[in-house]
Structure 1
Amino acid sequence: MINVTSDTIPWLAKGTPGYSFFADPPKQPPVPKYILSATQSEETTPQRRIANRGTEVFVAAGCEIRCVDLRFLKAQYEEELEGTGKTTQSSTKPERRYQVLNIPELDFTIHQLDISPDGQYLAIVGEKRVAVCLLPSPGFVRSSYEKLRAVCRQIGTTYHNESSDKTVRVVWHPFGVQGSSLVILTSDAYVRVYDITMDQETTCEVPDQVFDLNALAGRERQRTSFIPDPESFEPASCCFASGDLCWRPFSLYILMRGGDIYALCPIVPSRWVPSENYLHSLQRELSTQVDALEDFIDVTRSGKLALRQQAKWLEEVLNQEAARRSSSINRRDQEFYFTRPESVNPTPKLQGPFLLQPAPIDTSAEEVYACDIIHTTSDPVATISVVWSNANIDVFLEFEPIQARWVGKKLRQKSPEEDKNLPIIATFETIKLKTPLPENHARKHWPVFMENPLIGEVVFIAHYAGVEAVDMSEWLRGLKLVADPEEGEDFIAKQLQRTQGSVVKKVVDSGKTLPNLTHSIVGCLVLQDSYVGYILIASSETSVYAADFDIPFEFRNTVDPEDVLILANPPKSSLATYIPSISMPLYDPPITLREPPGLYHFIAANVHRNPQLMKGPLHYNAESLEILRQAREQVKREYEKFTSVAEIMYTHAKQQKAEYERQLLKVHEIITRQEGIVARNVKNRLQNLEKDQKELKAKFDAAFRGLIKNGHGGSGEIVVVKTEREREWEAELQKIVEKTGFVEKGKEKEIEEEVKKGLEKRTEQVKVIWDEMKPIVGKNVDENETGVASGSVDRCDGVPEELRKKKVAELREMLRKEFVPRFHQLP
């Protein structure tokens, strides 16, 4: 379970730069809302105003987007804390320590932020409008610039403008090339896919694919005006499936406000790059399904058609990969991506609505609407969670992933066969949060999910009264133990009924007083970093909240393979070769010992075949001798068989005796070590160990702060990489500074004193030289006046007169400069 070690973080407390980063009002006032007409409703849209790229956090405030590195904030706070010896919280306004993205094109209030999987693009979502900006390179958010220029493009201005329908969700495709495939879901039941290239305006204006959910579901759309039915077919949210199993990376789950769940699979961008080994895994999965067709007689015609289309689709993709490998002009530094196959219709089939078995428990008689959906993958099942406007949560189990299906050449009404084969998910539980509901919460309250980067079985829900953590790890772990393919469905169902449900814990309580929608969480962030820690940050319209979590024990020893130090000569351990027998399987005696003797069956068979010979007196004839010979052979075979079994049992008994003796030695060794440990002062040892641990942690934090301050990341590598030209330019600037005498601020007086001393010394030296040269100069002047020819050689030193005059002029110029010193200062 999530363990909250602290509900406050000092470097994010009120009065610190971290708090002002999240809570400062925007410099530009938010865009005023249009006056609502009588027919319009005061519905809200989901709020996700915080996004992160590692420890770099981006926050939306009005039309403004701020960015900061949390490592830098924490390092600065601890540095000031060590320097002053007291906290930096005060009533005065803290110093501004964050940057603002300079995007003049943004003229709408931002409701949602979403960063692409590769961290290159930022989707900026308003109530109806959408934009995408190119984020600065990692590390530039620590620069000294107050504003960072970012290239931004408006997305689909024809479809997403102030007169269009609301934008309910924007997600990035997990396989988009450089994270450039954006999926937009609007309240009029349209899904639009944009394959964005920033230097091509057409890709930002015209969607690559458009899916009309009404048409795919066989519903008729009104031509004059479309008013969505809030209880049936108005989209609320969507999400891509998690994990790489089968078709999940291409599966988009769509939640309707009435609670129905649909799926579009596959959604394939025009350019896409799969994860490593995904195609081969998909090929194996598809081959298994094709082989299983022979064992199932009741396979429908649509199921066979779907498998043929999947095989054709995958074959075209594998041909693209083979062509890339065999191409002689291909280079490793060239970017390669797959294109969308054309062998099948690119429009996916709308699968659903999902059958919920059993139906979820209706815990409220009031008007409620579904708000958000999240898909998490765990072993052995996946979970689909839905949160409602009253903050209730439904948890479903998905035992089999959605399969790829495509529509025909013409859209048509669903057949009765398709209605019977709707996808099924199992209802596991309905969680009712014990929080008082504000008035008119149905349409004005929109809770959202937040993923957990460390523990996939734990999800967070941000709503009007704070943030809740839902831990599903316990019952998922129990389900993994009973999920034996040989067991029947009844056995698994009984075990599920016995297991405890999810554990819910309140992490942030923003509505401690009366419930009010002004306390609703508008942005939530969960991240885990070696320096920042495992933390949660949430903000409302009026305040900022933070919580520090304890990392579970099973996640503390997770080490990146790149950080593992391989020793050339690892130390030898006396326990390395010891394998306890308790970890080995129990010895199972051969089945031969439990079988009846073969001679018994031999006699019984002969008695049944020749009863007179076997029951009468023994007579030595050919028939009796043959029976005795066969009996001898049978006894010989059994003797050899039992002899080999006895040898095996004797070997195991001998090993068991050796193992027993070794265990006695180990027990004696453990007792000896235990007596030695008990004899020592364990309490003092633990105290010393704790003291050493704190000292090591303090040294590590100090070293890490130094790396962050000098522009280094947590792994020790420079975040902002400088090119050779930039380094040469900096070296040239340094030379100019040294030659021109530029000094840094605060060191003017020290440099001025040093210059004065140097000038005085040099002035005395020049005076001595001048006194020595004055007679010679005067003599040369007299000779020139008496008519000595120019260029004649002086009798004293043989120096030409022209050269002498030139050097004297240079000396006088030097003296003039020495007596008029000038000092420069950097701006």
Structure 2
Amino acid sequence: MPKVIGYTPPYLSRPSPGSKIFSDPDPQSPADTSKQSSYIGSKSASQAAYQGPRRLIASRGTETFTVVGNRIRWADLAAVRDEWEENTQSGTSRFGLSRSATTEGGTEGSVYRILISPSGFFLAICTEHTVHIAVLPDSSRLKEQDRSPLKVKTYQLGPTVHVIPESPLASVLWHPLANATTSTDCLVTVTAEAAVRLWEFDKSSNWSLDRPKLAIDLPKLADGVSCDQDFEPSAFGKTRGFSVDAFDMEVSAAVFGGRAGAHESAWASMTLWIAMRNGDIYALCPLLPSKWKPTSTTIPSLTTAAVSRMALINDDETDIDDRRAADQQYEWVQEIDEEEPEIHRSTDSLGQFEVRFRPQNPSAIPRLQGPFTIFPEDDDTEIEISDMYVFAARLDEDDLFDGEDDEDIHDPVGTPVPFTTICVATPDNQIFIAIDLDGVTGQWLPKKRKNAFSIPTSDAEHLTLIETLTLPDQSSKSPPNWPLFTPDVAYNYALFLNTTDRIHYFDLTDWVFQLGAELTGTEAVDPGLQARLETRCQDQITLLEKLLDNVEPSEILSAPAIIDDDSLGFMLLSPTNLGCHGIIFQPNYYKVPTLTPSFTDLSASSPSRMNSQLVKMPESTIDTVPTREPYSPARVFYENQHLPLDSLRKKLPLHLKKSVTERPMKLSPAMLEVMTVTHRVVGVQSTYLENAAAELFRRCERLRNELSSQVEQMTLLAQQLKRLSATEGEDEDGEAHQIRSPEQRFHDAKEKQKKLVARYEALRRRVGRAGSAKRELSSKEVAWIEEIGTLGKNVGVSSEENQQQQRGDEGTNLDRRFDTVKNLTHSLISESQQIAKHQSSPKALPARLEASTSSISNSSITPSMSASQITIRSGTTASPSGSTLSAGFSVSSRLQKERIADVMGLVEREGAVIEAAMKRLERLRTEY
């Protein structure tokens, strides 16, 4: 969620000259009925009756186009800011970096919407019934010395189609996949009577401006049974019969399902979603111009989806309609694959892009899919939709490009999202968020056949309603409320929502990617998936924040424009009939490497791919002071004070005018009436002035109180700092000394650390010497040793307890080996004696001698006696037995001598090892 760091910039606030960009600096005096202002706040009958979207500002980089009256004000905000800073420093008030633009032929009625094409070459100027395409001038025209209004060349779309008696316009959209150039582009218009027209205009061809390339009447298409039928809307002037669809299919909003992004689903950018007043939602897919520009993933995604769907079809079990839809998609995609694309070079870079032709089979007009409803069947809730926005599903590029050798053909886009998210707003300030798990793909009506008749299905398809948000009620205002969505430039799943007097922001990013990661898990579905999904749906789905609500009752907010520029920052501008409201966000918010958010998994054993690929920018640990929108003087201070009296004077009859201005004033009923009306007008004007002055007085008093409270807070903070400094500045004896710098304090801390380490080492050696006397330690000494160990850990010194323990284990091991050698020696001597006594039984002697010899040779532990002693005893023991063995068992003396020599050599080696071990053991005991 963006962090608000400021409000309307000073160079766009009164009394700065930049505020004139969004207001009329020269009000008419006297008022002229032939030149009525078309402010959105005027109380004319046409303005009061209008109910629809208001988008009175558009941006192109740092340039803004704002509707002021019947003119369009054009300015470069970066240049306006620079000139304001220069004028502030020099003390001048020169201002001339904005220009007014007027259309050549003029517009019929008030302008309610302006939309800049994605290419930045054209501007769509929309009234309630008409659409004009203006060719935008070059930015260098703003630097000209001539400040006169600039005449802009405009072209009207369909002079005989969009006319006053016909249905008003419900939505105007630029096609995201259009092959836009400096002279051509594609625009889609949708009227309230559900007539969709696709315009591929060329400013050099008047015919392309008179008739659309595609014209579709949605009520006819809903009842259509074949793609060979005529679905064009009725011509102008023809009477229409009664139809139930005239009430059920009254369009309120339309939007494309994608923004031509490479990470989006291939069908998203060619799907037109249409919302009806009664809450029903329809979809047209695919709706393409005759020449369209696919993204890098569009063709591979379409081919993969069509082939996969054909492979899953089973002739015995698949429904006939599903089989026909799969065949149509395969035929449509096959025509795209067999086509040789046109390669064009981009104008803004050295890259190239493809341009393809729209397939003609099965048809250029798709089937109308829907209606989609966001409420379950058992819910009878009825809503009125004011606007709709659709978040496209995200591709799984790992599966799409699986097996490709070239790793540079695509960039990772993060966690895939296999569902479409739909947001719906109502005039009652309610927001409904639903998801479409099945998705919308291309569908067409069947070809016309003989003796074949099919009834189109009209069953509603239910979307999955996720959450319902209710915004605060709007203030009591006469104009109707019409909430509008504006997408965020930082996150793909975030929106700004403006009502009549408020601007809200809500973000679905974290929840959408968490749910997408759960639904696209590659591992097997575990029993905990349902519980995790229920937990995610029960938690908070969207982050809602109110950004702006400090609007005067006479102001009506327009849909904002989002400006994202390195020089200006990240800001939002929303014009009104009295000026402009702005919000400045934290710059680091939109400088994010990718658009996938980081989140925490609910379960460590989750089978889904919950690995996030985004590292958000770390927020500053120092929080800025909360800001609020600065005070803007009331409009009554800047209005022409003579305008009400001049208007009243103009309405007076001729004889009363002469009696008031030329003749001496006489008391009469007519003059009393004039004075009474004048008193009412002056009274209303003085009331406005009194209220504005009172508001200014209240704000001044509040400013004084806030300043005094802040001074008190700063005083208390200064006192606390002095106390802390004084406490830190006292030495051990309590005497104060000079306050040390942070570098000095850090150096002192390091010195103190070194002293603690040296003290710990000294105590450790002392404890080691005390333990070498082999006496039991007292309880105080044991506690002292534990305290020293704890101190060592706190200080950060690595203890040598492991080394001491290792040495102690080694000494214990040597003692154990020494005891074992002694036992073996005694057993060997006893066995030798027994052999000498029992010479009468020679059969057991070789076995015993062999066992004794093998025990000595296989053991790594030797007797504790010296090698000479062992040799003498072994010799005396073996000497008498040698003759006996050779005589009784025919064992050669040579073999006996060799065996005894081997045993003696082994004993000597082991004896040397034992002597070295004994010396080492004595040395270790001496050290300890």
Name the SS for the 2:386 alignment partner: strand
Instruction: Spell out, residue by residue over 1:278-313, the C-alpha distance to the aligned partner (whole angstroms, 9 max, x if none).
Output: 22232223223333335x975432222122212222
**Aligned residues of 1:133 and 1:153 also touching (Cα < 8 A):** yes
Is structure 2 residue 411 aligned with structure 1 residue 373?
no
Please list, as runs of the form range in 1=range in 2, the aligned pairs for 1:754-793 lying within 5 A after superposition: none
Shift of 1:339: 2.4
The aligned counterpart of 1:347 is 365
Report the CA distance shift for 1:212/1:414 in structure 2 as closer, same or farther (over 3 A): farther
Report the CA distance shift for 1:484/1:106 in structure 2 as closer, same or farther (over 3 A): same
The aligned counterpart of 1:356 is 374
**Aligned residues of 2:343 and 2:352 also touching (Cα < 8 A):** no
The aligned counterpart of 1:75 is 82
Please list, as runs of the form range in 1=range in 2, the aligned pairs for 1:652-801 lying within 5 A after superposition: 679=746
Please list, as runs of the form range in 1=range in 2, the aligned pairs for 1:547-696 lying within 5 A after superposition: 547-552=583-588, 555-556=590-591, 558=593, 679=746
The aligned counterpart of 2:538 is 498
Instruction: Spell out, residue by residue over 1:385-412, the C-alpha distance to the aligned partner (whole angstroms, 9 max, x if none).
Output: 1110112111112334310011234699
Name the SS for the 1:20 alignment partner: helix
The aligned counterpart of 2:885 is none
The aligned counterpart of 1:455 is 491
Pick from 419, 425, 438: which aligns with 2:476? Answer: 438
Please list, as runs of the form range in 1=range in 2, the aligned pairs for 1:117-266 lying within 5 A after superposition: 117-146=118-147, 147-178=149-180, 180-218=185-223, 223-224=239-240, 232-242=248-258, 243=261, 244-266=264-286
Shift of 1:477: 3.9
Name the SS for the 2:313 alignment partner: helix
Shift of 1:226: 6.3
Report the CA distance shift for 1:291/1:98 in structure 2 as closer, same or farther (over 3 A): same
Instruction: Spell out, residue by residue over 1:597-639, the C-alpha distance to the aligned partner (whole angstroms, 9 max, x if none).
Output: xxxxxxxxxxxxxxxxxxxxxxxxxxxxxxxxxxxxxxxxxxx
Name the SS for the 1:337 alignment partner: strand
Instruction: Spell out, residue by residue over 1:47-106, the C-alpha distance to the aligned partner (whole angstroms, 9 max, x if none).
Output: 11111112211112232112111211222223333445xxx8xxx8x7342122242212
The aligned counterpart of 1:291 is 311
Report the CA distance shift for 1:100/1:677 in structure 2 as closer, same or farther (over 3 A): farther
Length, aligned pairs only: 541
Amino acid at match of 1:273: K
Structure 1, unmatched stretches of 5+, are 327-331, 561-674, 683-827
Shift of 1:168: 1.3
Amino acid at match of 2:207: T
Pick from 442, 450, 466: which aligns with 1:404? Answer: 442
Name the SS for the 2:248 alignment partner: coil
The aligned counterpart of 1:311 is 330
Amino acid at match of 2:436: E
Instruction: Spell out, residue by residue over 1:292-341, the C-alpha distance to the aligned partner (whole angstroms, 9 max, x if none).
Output: 335x975432222122212222222222226x589xxxxx9999732222
**Aligned residues of 2:494 and 2:507 also touching (Cα < 8 A):** yes
CA distance in 1, matches of 2:453, 2:525: 35
Name the SS for the 1:345 alignment partner: coil
Amino acid at match of 1:57: T
Name the SS for the 2:8 alignment partner: coil
Amino acid at match of 2:545: K
Name the SS for the 1:519 alignment partner: coil
Shift of 1:26: 8.1
CA distance in 2, matches of 1:353, 1:438: 35
The aligned counterpart of 2:512 is 476
**Aligned residues of 1:535 and 1:546 also touching (Cα < 8 A):** yes
Select between 213-222 and 98-107 the one with higher mean Cα deviation.
213-222
Report the CA distance shift for 1:549/1:362 in structure 2 as closer, same or farther (over 3 A): farther
Kindly name which structure, 1 or 2, has the bigger radius of gyration based on alpha carbons. 2
Amino acid at match of 2:530: D
**Aligned residues of 1:265 and 1:404 also touching (Cα < 8 A):** yes
**Aligned residues of 1:360 and 1:394 also touching (Cα < 8 A):** no
Report the CA distance shift for 1:138/1:498 in structure 2 as closer, same or farther (over 3 A): same
**Aligned residues of 1:265 and 1:348 also touching (Cα < 8 A):** yes
Percent of aligned positions that are identical: 24
CA distance in 1, matches of 2:26, 2:296: 43
Instruction: Spell out, residue by residue over 1:250-280, the C-alpha distance to the aligned partner (whole angstroms, 9 max, x if none).
Output: 1000011111110011111122222234222
The aligned counterpart of 1:390 is 428
Report the CA distance shift for 1:291/1:493 in structure 2 as closer, same or farther (over 3 A): same
Instruction: Spell out, residue by residue over 1:653-681, the C-alpha distance to the aligned partner (whole angstroms, 9 max, x if none).
Output: xxxxxxxxxxxxxxxxxxxxxx9999379
Pick from 553, 568, 576: which aligns with 1:532? Answer: 568
Shift of 1:355: 3.8
TM-score by length of 2: 0.53
CA distance in 2, matches of 1:26, 1:185: 36
Name the SS for the 1:263 alignment partner: strand
Report the CA distance shift for 1:141/1:325 in structure 2 as closer, same or farther (over 3 A): closer
Instruction: Spell out, residue by residue over 1:670-701, the C-alpha distance to the aligned partner (whole angstroms, 9 max, x if none).
Output: xxxxx99993799xxxxxxxxxxxxxxxxxxx
Report the CA distance shift for 1:266/1:481 in structure 2 as closer, same or farther (over 3 A): closer
Shift of 1:34: 13
**Aligned residues of 2:508 and 2:541 also touching (Cα < 8 A):** yes
**Aligned residues of 1:465 and 1:520 also touching (Cα < 8 A):** yes
**Aligned residues of 1:68 and 1:142 also touching (Cα < 8 A):** no
The aligned counterpart of 2:22 is 22
Name the SS for the 1:280 alignment partner: helix
The aligned counterpart of 2:9 is 9
TM-score by length of 1: 0.59
Select between 24-33 and 373-382 the one with higher mean Cα deviation.
24-33
Pick from 282, 287, 292: which aligns with 1:272? Answer: 292
Pick from 46, 60, 65: which aligns with 1:58? Answer: 65
Report the CA distance shift for 1:396/1:334 in structure 2 as closer, same or farther (over 3 A): closer
**Aligned residues of 2:474 and 2:500 also touching (Cα < 8 A):** no
**Aligned residues of 2:83 and 2:95 also touching (Cα < 8 A):** no
The aligned counterpart of 1:772 is none
Report the CA distance shift for 1:383/1:17 in structure 2 as closer, same or farther (over 3 A): farther
Report the CA distance shift for 1:150/1:259 in structure 2 as closer, same or farther (over 3 A): same
Structure 2, unmatched stretches of 5+, are 28-34, 225-232, 345-349, 395-415, 596-741, 750-928
Name the SS for the 1:290 alignment partner: helix
Shift of 1:479: 2.1
Shift of 1:510: 4.4
CA distance in 2, matches of 1:389, 1:360: 24
The aligned counterpart of 2:116 is 115
Name the SS for the 1:389 alignment partner: coil
CA distance in 2, matches of 1:681, 1:385: 61
**Aligned residues of 2:371 and 2:458 also touching (Cα < 8 A):** no
Amino acid at match of 1:128: H
Shift of 1:371: 0.5
Instruction: Spell out, residue by residue over 1:704-754, the C-alpha distance to the aligned partner (whole angstroms, 9 max, x if none).
Output: xxxxxxxxxxxxxxxxxxxxxxxxxxxxxxxxxxxxxxxxxxxxxxxxxxx
Q: CA RMSD in A?
A: 3.9
